[in-house]
Structure 1
Amino acid sequence: MSTPSVQLISECFIKPYSPIEDSNQICYLTPWDIALLSVHYIQKGLLFKKPESIDNQQDFMNNLLDNLKHSLSLALDHFYPLAGRLVTQKTQDPLSYAVFVDCINSPGAGFIHATLNMTISDILSPVDVPPVVHSFFDHHKAINHDGHTMPLLSIKVTELLDGVFIGCSMNHCIADGTSYWNFFNTWSELFQAKPQTPQVHVDAPIISHNPIHNRWFPQGCSDRLINLPFKHHDEFISRYESTKLRDRIFHFSAESITKLKAKANSESNSNKISSFQSLSAFVWKSMTRARNLQHDQKTSCKLTANNRSRMEPPLPEQYFGNSVHGLEAEATAGEVVENNLGWAAWKVHVAVANHGDAAVQKYVKEWLLSPMVYRIDMLVEANSVMMSSSPRFNVYGNEFGMGKAVAVRSGYANKSDGEVTAYPGREGGGSVDLEVCLLPETMAALESDEKFMSIASVCNNPMC
């Protein structure tokens, strides 16, 4: 029997609630932003259970959709670049090629309503994340450069038989994970603000944390319209298709992570290794065993670091845009497998500890001397572990009239062998969920690894 497919019901565009000021018409892109033109959109979303006391399903969905659209319009007042489109400006005399965001000349953010004849259990109970989850997001396989013609933000609301999935696809040139969840949190806050008044034009509600749109450029970078060394986007754009992967969620309780941290610090005679560094090292060791690599083969553990707090002076947490950097701990497979957890965790800790303002400034200055655009196929490195996202993001604090989400899931975007996406566990308290993408044979070996499975739980489905 064939798996049901997502059915499109309607789609429209949502513009900011209030007119955008002329001074905010253009959003300039920084080196951090421009370097991501050839990678995928960010795709994350939340699965909610429909309230049990629904008298009329149609009325419930109509009211939900109206309020989602209205609160999204209010949120776009604050996050107005998301309602824009990318623009490439080329001139011959002088020769220049630049990309920026036009915040005004655009139909707005996308909003899609769809249905699926499946239940929450159909989504959460299978061992692997079912492929249909990719259909919960707009912009499937789109790259950021497509933001010239596609919305920079697209919301897809998929109605299940007993639940609702709210999927958000956001252009990665406009925002990193911190900015993404700051937007989502604000949208939720505005949804919960009472009364919901889609029909009445009133002043937009005050929000808890205002995004900061004054994008950071290095000292001496007077021209914020950065000139790129290209004549056509074909010179730096590529499309990435991942190999066949298994995608599975593993849960780590707060207690298990506390034990990993204590073990890592004890074995390295330290008290500096963090919980996430310990967990990352544990995953690195486990995946390296599962891959059964040759003793002298190189392997690495990569992490995505938020630059905001590492800079001097630091950038505010509400800085809207990209401010991230990839860090890396390297070793041979033999070293990772044969040494203890503390050894691997210390390697990860050193990579993180050495990343400060000087490293950030050095990278940006070198990029400006020789601008480049990342390609996903160049970022994917054999035998590596890529720890992305963060369990510190406020994921389960987002509510849209249906209580706390039962799960968080992601789309197709930016997945490769060894990609690990971290989320806070639903129960909180320091628990962590890891979405792990691996080649099928490697995933099978990881599932049979007693050391790994003694720490990881296989079911974080609150419905089971």
Structure 2
Amino acid sequence: MVQNYYEEIPKIKLISECFVKPTHVGVANGAPNEPHYLRTIDLITLTVNPMQKGLLFDTKPHNLRSHFLPNLKKSLAFALNHFYTLSGQLVTQKFPDEHACCLYVDCNSGPGARFIHACVEYRVSDIVSSVDVHPIVASFFDLGEKSINSDGHTRPLLSVQVTELLDGIFIGFTMNHCLADGTSLWHFISTLSEIFGQLNDQKEVNYDVVSITKKPIFKTLFFDHEYGPGPIPKLPYVEPNEFKFRYDPGPLRVRIFHFSSKSISMLKAQANEECGLHNNISSFQALCGLMWRSITRSRNLRPDYEVKFAVAINARPRLDPPLSPEYFRSFYVTAKCVYKAGDLLSNGLGQAALLINQIIKMYDDEGTRRVLKQYEEQPSIHRPVFNSSNGNPKAGIFIAGSSKFDTYGPEFGLGRAIAVLGGYVNMDDGKLVMNPGRDGDGSVDVEVVLKPETMNALELDEEFMSFTT
């Protein structure tokens, strides 16, 4: 049965909730008393949803309430010593004379991270056997409460929800996207698991004996690759109603398609052969080309209709010298291109992958700096990429996530997770999220969000379904 992602979901039972603060404010990184200003690149996501990612485990600790949850809370408090911005609160500073404002994190007076314990009468098999992502999954994050990043003025910037299933648990993380991107989110989750592994049910743990492998870096970086306090970054708004935006995309289906390492290798080989290139087209670009073509075909658009492709790219390794992956910010750029539907479908996989290859290549050190400079000089706030206000059908896809994230590394003493799932956030027709496949070895899971009629057509697309399992 096709499930509507936004239909009324079954009730989830709240058992308890609290707020967790750092054990030692500023011990690890010297949490500043002065404001932690958000750069213009951070503020692009101000009116979209926070990030949500979670891990489903088919193991349920027998001592869940007496030991596991207290240790996870304790680990979170230790982690916030390092990731101190996540325990803070967003504050807006207004400059009426300039018709401008700036946003910063007050790192010392926030509520801390929200910690939720909930339960639901479902088995792990109920979740993983669902063809579409099960509607109950949305309640595994912040109990299903919807918010946008700007709500960080009154809501916590980080929440962790542990949901008991009948035979397993789900640990869901919600993180404000203005403070971090996917790279930073998984950096935090991995570190929290690392700390959890060091506590071992100890009632009292000295801060000095808890170590982490990768400490976050909070220094402010500017487009010219220099650190320093710099000028206060300002947005051309004064009141929130000038930029706040909430978006309802209507009925959608959300499904995860798995691509084995063999399928990925076949896609890459086919794309390179069609282009006459020798491994210049990457596995990622070939997979993106397949998704772009297949979804365009499923939408049954006019041949002259322009179809869009956009992909979020981690900007850290694009700079020369590259920026550390521990740089804890929302630090990505978006590569885009447009092509006519008829040409995209008639010219083959190789041409689509080559177009994607070319726009990604534009984001070398020079191209990335140019975009970062534009963000600084012309601040803007993101609106849904493919929102159509003129009645025309949506004709784009947007790729987020990465198959390079270490999503199955954090185990929290429970063994390897059996699934990585997202929440309700930033769902729109044509939104795709890449995750590594659980079996590793180059396999990829793609979370696909489409209108029901488009998803139905995609499931009948022979070329697409021949590559996925």
**C-alpha distance in structure 2 between counterparts of 1:350 and 1:265, whole Å:** 14
Matched, 1:424 2:436: yes
Give the 3 Å change call, closer, same or farther, for CA 96–340 of structure 1 in structure 2. closer
The residue that corresponds to 2:406 in the other structure is 394
Deviates more, 1:300-309 or 1:168-177: 300-309
What amino acid is the match of 2:239? H
Aligned residues of 2:253 and 2:452 also touching (Cα < 8 A): yes
What amino acid is the match of 2:440? G
The residue that corresponds to 1:80 in the other structure is 84
Output one character per residue of 1:192-241: Cα deviation in whole Å (capped at 9) or x when no partner: 12434343444251211111111212349964421222120111111111
Deviates more, 1:385-394 or 1:309-318: 309-318
Instruction: Specify the SS of the correspondent of 1:454.
Output: helix
Alignment of 1:286-365 (within 5 A): 286-365=294-373
How far did residue 336 of structure 1 move?
1.1
- Of 92, 108, 111, the residue aligned with 1:107 is 111
- Of 67, 87, 93, the residue aligned with 1:89 is 93
- Of 252, 255, 258, the residue aligned with 1:245 is 252
**C-alpha distance in structure 2 between counterparts of 1:205 and 1:46, whole Å:** 24
What amino acid is the match of 2:268? K
Matched, 1:268 2:280: no
Matched, 1:39 2:48: yes
- Of 401, 409, 414, the residue aligned with 2:426 is 414
Deviates more, 1:380-389 or 1:352-361: 380-389
Instruction: Specify the SS of the correspondent of 1:178.
Output: helix
The residue that corresponds to 1:171 in the other structure is 176
The residue that corresponds to 2:3 in the other structure is none
The residue that corresponds to 1:455 in the other structure is 467
- Of 113, 129, 133, the residue aligned with 2:133 is 129
**C-alpha distance in structure 1 between counterparts of 2:88 and 2:246, whole Å:** 23
Matched, 1:227 2:239: no
Aligned residues of 1:28 and 1:224 also touching (Cα < 8 A): no
- Of 442, 446, 458, the residue aligned with 1:434 is 446
Aligned residues of 1:281 and 1:301 also touching (Cα < 8 A): no
Output one character per residue of 1:126-185: Cα deviation in whole Å (capped at 9) or x when no partner: 111111110000173211110011000011111000010100000000000000000011
How far did residue 313 of structure 1 move?
2.8
The residue that corresponds to 2:216 in the other structure is 211
**C-alpha distance in structure 1 between counterparts of 2:386 and 2:451, whole Å:** 18
**C-alpha distance in structure 1 between counterparts of 2:270 and 2:32, whole Å:** 54
How far did residue 43 of structure 1 move?
0.6
In structure 2, list runs of 5 or more residues that go unmatched.
Answer: 1-7
Instruction: Specify the SS of the correspondent of 1:244.
Output: coil
**C-alpha distance in structure 1 between counterparts of 2:283 and 2:385, whole Å:** 30
What amino acid is the match of 1:305? I
**C-alpha distance in structure 1 between counterparts of 2:43 and 2:209, whole Å:** 32
How far did residue 328 of structure 1 move?
1.5
The residue that corresponds to 2:4 in the other structure is none
Aligned residues of 1:215 and 1:321 also touching (Cα < 8 A): no
How far did residue 86 of structure 1 move?
0.4
**C-alpha distance in structure 1 between counterparts of 2:449 and 2:182, whole Å:** 19
How far did residue 301 of structure 1 move?
1.9
- Of 282, 286, 305, the residue aligned with 1:278 is 286
Instruction: Specify the SS of the correspondent of 2:41.
Output: helix
Give the 3 Å change call, closer, same or farther, for CA 378–148 of structure 1 in structure 2. farther
Q: TM-score, normalised by structure 1?
A: 0.93
Output one character per residue of 1:326-347: Cα deviation in whole Å (capped at 9) or x when no partner: 1123211111111111111000
- Of 8, 19, 27, the residue aligned with 1:13 is 19
- Of 178, 187, 200, the residue aligned with 1:182 is 187
The residue that corresponds to 2:5 in the other structure is none
Deviates more, 1:307-316 or 1:251-260: 307-316
What amino acid is the match of 1:32? I
Give the 3 Å change call, closer, same or farther, for CA 449–99 of structure 1 in structure 2. same
Instruction: Specify the SS of the correspondent of 1:203.
Output: helix
- Of 386, 395, 408, the residue aligned with 1:383 is 395
How far did residue 418 of structure 1 move?
0.8
In structure 1, list runs of 5 or more residues that go unmatched.
Answer: 458-464
Give the 3 Å change call, closer, same or farther, for CA 259–22 of structure 1 in structure 2. closer
Matched, 1:146 2:158: no
Percent identical? 44
Q: TM-score, normalised by structure 2?
A: 0.92
Aligned residues of 2:88 and 2:112 also touching (Cα < 8 A): yes
How far did residue 61 of structure 1 move?
3.0
How far did residue 359 of structure 1 move?
2.3
The residue that corresponds to 1:155 in the other structure is 160
What amino acid is the match of 2:66? N
Q: How many residues align?
A: 451
**C-alpha distance in structure 1 between counterparts of 2:269 and 2:386, whole Å:** 36
What amino acid is the match of 2:111? P
What amino acid is the match of 2:316? R
Give the 3 Å change call, closer, same or farther, for CA 75–238 of structure 1 in structure 2. same
**C-alpha distance in structure 2 between counterparts of 1:96 and 1:337, whole Å:** 46
Aligned residues of 1:88 and 1:100 also touching (Cα < 8 A): yes
How far did residue 191 of structure 1 move?
0.8
Instruction: Specify the SS of the correspondent of 2:90.
Output: strand
Deviates more, 1:316-325 or 1:210-219: 210-219
Instruction: Specify the SS of the correspondent of 2:32.
Output: helix
> Aligned-residue CA RMSD in angstroms?
2.0
**C-alpha distance in structure 2 between counterparts of 1:265 and 1:448, whole Å:** 26
Instruction: Specify the SS of the correspondent of 2:380.
Output: coil
Give the 3 Å change call, closer, same or farther, for CA 63–151 of structure 1 in structure 2. same
